């Protein structure tokens, strides 16, 4: 009858249950994950839930006296014995929870009642969010689906800026994976939506545990990110000009994972939640899905976990080369990037001496990678690479990101380096 119970519940009851019962657990869980950043988040979350359940059980028992605890254990033991006897009786009589009912008329009546409930539910109009009684706003970790979750027309706010200010904001946003997925029109919309905010030294910009309404870009100054544990705040990160902060609460719909305090007079650019969700978050999700699907088809990443592939997809940037014969990397140059061919083809060419004409070495097609040797061995580029077709798109990550994220496949890359010798 679980299905019937679900049908009989009103939309308000579903929403109230999510807000009162589900959200607090999800919010605490997401906050714990963001604070710890575990390598295996699934295992961490499972362990965390087990620990919380155990903690609650211990707390409930600790609230009573030893005699009360003994009585509670006796009651549990008695209930278990009664359940055992009941199951043994059912097994001996050939009956069980799944045995058919003796009264077919009652079964038929129940079925008719469920069908009637289903018909009533079909006739029930879907309530709009404005019709549902709401309490104070809470951070929602589980989105409602159906008509409630349909997107409406959105117009981003516009805060006038000089060309110099727009250029500075765009330059600061370029290194961030969140904003690297934006096309020029979207980038301009987001840039115009940023609002300037002046913060004095020592002022709090964000409080740990609060709802996230904005993210921030630092133009001038610096801030400290502080996390409170056991009543003591500890600086875990310092952000300087060009850094963004506050995006996690918007990205994952969770409370602020840390407090942020200005360490000097600071100029910030503030972006509101709605603009972030409608433009930045959607573009980042679309980019992640596209790159994740692509990387899964690349043999190099075949044995990596879904989480590892998604992390790499978030870090990848894309370069487009319109003309055939464009230089990608130069022999003898410093190796600071790792490339994967997304579209088109590239050719590697190597010269035996400075005066010699470069000779073809190999062709890199869609899904092939190159540029890893310089990063693995900390050496200069061993060959030049040119585009061999128009409109070539290459995914890339810098040396620091490569070292941090590609540890699981570093052995494979080293082993496969013999392909260049062949």
* Sign, CA torsion 180/184/185/190: positive
Secondary structure (3-state) at 79 = helix
Lowest model confidence (mean pLDDT) among 31-35, 227-231, 387-391: 31-35
| CA gap 136, 113 in Å, rounded | 37
For residue 95, give the H/E element and its range: none
Residue 26: pLDDT above 50?
yes
Summarised one tens digit per residue, pLDDT across range 226-254 is: 998 888 999 988 999 888 898 888 877 88
Q: Would you place residue 410 in the very low, low, confident or very high pLDDT band (cuts 50, 70, 90)?
A: confident
52 or 160: whose pLDDT is higher?
Answer: 160
Instruction: Dump pLDDT digits (tens) for 355-364.
Output: 888 999 999 9
Distant-in-sequence, close-in-space partners of 169: CB < 8 Å, separation ≥ 6: 161, 191, 194, 217, 219, 269
Residue 83 has pLDDT above 50, yes or no: yes
* Range of 21-35, 41-55, 94-108, 290-304 with top mean pLDDT: 290-304
Q: What is the DSSP string of 353-392?
A: SSSSPPEEEEEE-TT-EE-HHHHHHT-B-SSEEEESSSSE
Lowest-confidence segment of 44-48, 58-62, 192-196, 272-276 by average pLDDT: 58-62
Q: Which residues pair with 240 in a beta bridge?
A: 222
Least confident of 29-33, 223-227, 334-338, 402-406: 29-33
Instruction: CATH 2.60.120.10 in the chain: give the residue spans.
Output: 163-280, 297-421
Residue 254, C-beta contacts closer than 8 angstroms, at least 6 positions apart: 27, 30, 31, 34, 139, 141, 212, 248
Q: Give me the pLDDT at residue 188, please.
A: 87
pLDDT greater at residue 29 or residue 12: 29
Strand order of the β-sheet with 327-329 is 327-329, 384-387, 346-350, 359-364
- Give the model's confidence band at 323: pLDDT under 50 very low, under 70 low, under 90 confident, else very high: very high
Q: What percent of the chain has pLDDT over 90?
A: 26
Say yes or no to pLDDT of 388 above 80. Answer: yes
What is the pLDDT averaged over residues 82-87? 75
Task: For the chain, give the mean pLDDT.
Answer: 77
pLDDT at 264 over 80: yes
Give residue-wise pLDDT tens across range 364-374: 999 999 998 88
The average pLDDT across 47-56 equals: 67
Please give the pLDDT value at position 43.
Answer: 82
pLDDT of the residue at 107: 47
CA distances from residue 198 to 206, 222, 238, 265 in whole angstroms, order as listed: 14, 12, 18, 8
Name the pairing type of β-strands 244-245 and 359-364.
Answer: unpaired
**Which range in 1-5, 144-148, 347-351 is most confidently predicted, on average pLDDT?**
347-351
Q: Which residue has the higher pLDDT, 63 or 373?
A: 373
Does the domain at 163-280 match CATH 2.60.120.10? Answer given as yes
What pLDDT score was predicted for residue 64? 55
Q: Which residues contact 204 (CB under 8 A, 6 or more apart)?
A: 259, 260, 261
Q: Which residue has the higher pLDDT, 204 or 143?
A: 204
Give me the pLDDT at residue 243, please.
85
Q: What is the pLDDT of residues 113-133, one digit of tens each?
A: 444 444 444 443 343 333 333
Is residue 398's pLDDT more than 80?
yes
* 297-421 topology per CATH: Jelly Rolls (2.60.120)
């Amino acid at each position: 009858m679980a299905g019937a119970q679900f049908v009989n519940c009103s939309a308000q009851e579903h929403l109230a249950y999510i807000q009162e019962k589900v959200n607090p657990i999800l919010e605490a869980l997401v906050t714990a994950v963001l604070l710890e950043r575990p390598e295996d988040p699934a295992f961490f979350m499972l362990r965390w839930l087990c620990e919380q359940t155990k903690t609650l059980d211990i707390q409930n028992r600790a609230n009573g006296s030893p005699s009360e605890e003994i009585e509670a254990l006796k009651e549990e033991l008695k209930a278990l014995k009664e359940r055992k006897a009941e199951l043994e009786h059912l097994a001996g009589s050939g009956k069980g929870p799944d045995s058919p009912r003796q009264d077919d008329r009652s079964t038929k009546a129940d079925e008719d009642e469920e069908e009637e409930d289903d018909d009533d539910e079909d006739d029930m109009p879907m309530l709009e969010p404005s019709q549902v009684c709401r309490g104070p706003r809470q951070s929602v970790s589980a989105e409602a689906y159906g008509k409630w979750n349909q997107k409406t027309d959105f117009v981003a706010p516009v805060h006038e800026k000089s060309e110099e200010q727009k250029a500075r904001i765009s330059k600061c946003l370029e290194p961030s994976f969140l904003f690297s997925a934006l096309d020029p029109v979207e980038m301009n919309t987001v840039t115009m939506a940023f609002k300037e905010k002046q913060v004095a030294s020592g002022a709090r910009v964000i409080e740990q545990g609060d709802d996230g309404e904005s993210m921030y870009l630092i133009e001038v100054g610096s801030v400290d990110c502080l996390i409170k544990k056991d009543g003591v705040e500890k600086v875990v990160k310092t952000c300087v000009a060009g850094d963004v902060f506050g995006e996690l609460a918007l990205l994952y719909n969770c409370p602020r994972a840390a407090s942020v305090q200005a360490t000097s007079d600071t100029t910030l650019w503030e972006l509101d939640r709605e603009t972030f969700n409608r433009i930045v978050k959607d573009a980042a999700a679309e980019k992640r899905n596209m790159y994740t699907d692509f990387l899964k088809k690349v043999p190099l990443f075949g044995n990596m976990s879904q989480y590892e592939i998604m992390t790499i997809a978030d870090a990848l940037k894309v370069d487009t080369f319109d003309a055939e014969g464009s230089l990608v990397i130069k022999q003898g140059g410093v190796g600071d990037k790792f490339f994967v061919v997304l579209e088109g083809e590239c050719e590697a060419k190597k010269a035996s001496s400075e005066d010699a004409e470069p000779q073809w070495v190999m062709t890199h097609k869609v899904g092939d990678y190159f540029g890893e040797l310089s990063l693995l061995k900390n050496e200069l580029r061993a060959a030049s690479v040119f585009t061999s077709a128009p409109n070539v798109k290459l995914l890339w990550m810098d040396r620091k990101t490569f070292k941090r994220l590609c540890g699981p496949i570093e052995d494979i890359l080293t082993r496969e380096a013999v392909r260049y010798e062949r």
